[in-house]
């Protein structure tokens, strides 16, 4: 078992020690994937499955599990509890096993900082990251208040290789910024106009901005306007904030997408894009 290489453009790998989310976003790609590979109605978990069911509807999985049909035919289950929040305890050592430096999107199939996630899960993920300092770790949440709370309590590591992102689809959503932590905005999907004012859209307060359009069924009805993207880029340029555009923005921006990383996120052999 190893870290997964990912098609997500701004990361090299994903690592999902926790999966599942209770936000209920209508455009969520992760829920669709989890449901696709979850046990079918005709299947059940193998008898030797080792897990703990928490009182809040979360699960802790102690080892890899299989799901079987009535005939005893089985398959490995990547999402044995579908999109219910699940802690894969046995995946904690994967970053340590990977010696080549990587840019890791932590919990691409979850919101690690959702209110339903126990503190213990987050702390154990942090501990696993600390054991593998060769990597860059990117966290992303729609609940930035959890960052703020943990920071005030002294429980949010302020290391150069830890990056804390907030998902914002419009400029009125809350986000996390800090003078002591590396922070970024993931403006995806971009669903509303941003003004060219750093105090309004938050661009001037973070260290990096990712921009993307909605994908999947119905995405064409929510395609962002070019002037929305221009406003974000112009603000970022004025404030000295690197901008990374996802492939989904090509129809709006054109083929020459901005692919900028902050210096602290570059891996050995990578260069700053000017």
Q: Domain locations in the chain? A: 4-14+102-260
The yes-or-no verdict on residue 25 having pLDDT over 70 is yes
Query: Residue 164's beta-bridge partner residues?
Result: 139, 183
Instruction: Catalogue the E-assigned strands of 192-260.
Output: 209-211, 243-245
Both ends of the chain: CA-CA distance in Å? 37
Q: Count how many Cα atoms sit within 13 Å of the Cα of residue 83 in the half-sphere of its side chain.
A: 18
The yes-or-no verdict on residue 61 having pLDDT over 90 is no
- Is 266 in contact with 242 (CB distance < 8 Å)? no
Residue-level pLDDT at 139: 98
Region 120-129 average pLDDT = 98
User: How many residues are present in the chain?
Assistant: 274
Residue-level pLDDT at 208: 97
- Is 20 in contact with 109 (CB distance < 8 Å)? yes
Rounded to two decimals, what is the model's pTM?
0.91
The yes-or-no verdict on residue 274 having pLDDT over 80 is no
Q: Please, which pLDDT band fits residue 112 given cuts at 50, 70 and 90? A: very high
- Is 69 in contact with 63 (CB distance < 8 Å)? no
Residue-level pLDDT at 29: 72
The string of DSSP codes covering 160-187 is TTEEEEEE-SSTTS-----SSSEEEEEE
Residue-level pLDDT at 63: 84
- Is 248 in contact with 260 (CB distance < 8 Å)? no
The yes-or-no verdict on residue 41 having pLDDT over 90 is no
Residue-level pLDDT at 105: 98
Residues 6+ apart with CB under 8 A from 71: none
Residue-level pLDDT at 37: 66
d(CA 206, CA 186): 11
Residue-level pLDDT at 162: 98
> What backbone torsions phi and psi does residue 86 show, to the nearest 5 degrees?
-135, 130
Which long-range contacts (C-beta less than 8 Å, at least 24 apart) are formed by 262-270? 262/182, 262/207, 262/208, 264/136, 264/160, 264/161, 264/182, 265/103, 265/136, 265/138, 265/163, 265/208, 267/12, 267/101, 267/102, 267/103, 267/136, 268/101
Which of 239, 254, 250, 255 has the alpha carbon at shortest distance from 207?
A: 239
Residue-level pLDDT at 265: 97
- Burial environment of residue 222 by CB neighbours within 10 A (0 to 12, 13 to 18, 19 or more): middle
- Is 140 in contact with 116 (CB distance < 8 Å)? no
Residue-level pLDDT at 43: 67
Dump pLDDT digits (tens) for 181-223: 999 999 999 999 987 765 556 888 999 999 999 876 555 667 8
The yes-or-no verdict on residue 89 having pLDDT over 80 is yes
């Amino acid at each position: 078992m190893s870290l997964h290489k990912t098609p997500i453009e701004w990361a090299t790998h994903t690592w999902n020690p926790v999966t599942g989310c209770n936000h209920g976003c209508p455009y969520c790609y992760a829920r669709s994937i989890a449901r696709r590979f979850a046990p079918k109605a005709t299947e059940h978990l193998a008898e030797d499955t080792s897990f703990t069911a928490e009182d809040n509807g979360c699960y802790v999985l102690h080892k890899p599990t299989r799901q079987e049909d009535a005939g005893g035919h089985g398959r490995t289950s990547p999402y044995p509890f579908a999109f219910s929040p699940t802690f894969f305890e046995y995946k904690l050592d994967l970053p340590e096993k990977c010696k080549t430096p990587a840019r890791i999107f932590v919990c691409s199939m979850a919101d690690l900082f959702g209110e339903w996630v126990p503190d213990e899960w987050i702390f154990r993920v942090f501990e696993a990251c600390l054991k593998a300092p060769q990597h860059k770790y990117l966290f992303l949440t729609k609940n930035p208040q959890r960052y703020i709370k943990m920071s005030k309590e002294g429980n949010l590591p302020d290391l150069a290789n830890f990056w804390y992102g907030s998902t914002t689809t419009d400029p009125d959503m809350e986000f996390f910024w800090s003078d002591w932590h590396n922070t970024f905005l993931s403006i995806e999907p971009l669903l509303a106009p941003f003004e060219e004012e750093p105090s309004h859209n938050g661009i001037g307060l973070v260290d990096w901005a990712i921009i993307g359009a909605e994908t999947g069924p119905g995405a064409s009805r929510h395609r962002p306007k070019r002037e929305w993207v221009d406003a974000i880029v112009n603000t970022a340029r004025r404030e000295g904030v690197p901008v990374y555009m996802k492939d989904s923005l090509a129809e709006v921006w054109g083929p020459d997408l901005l692919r900028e990383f902050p210096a602290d996120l570059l891996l050995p052999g990578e260069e700053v894009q000017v």
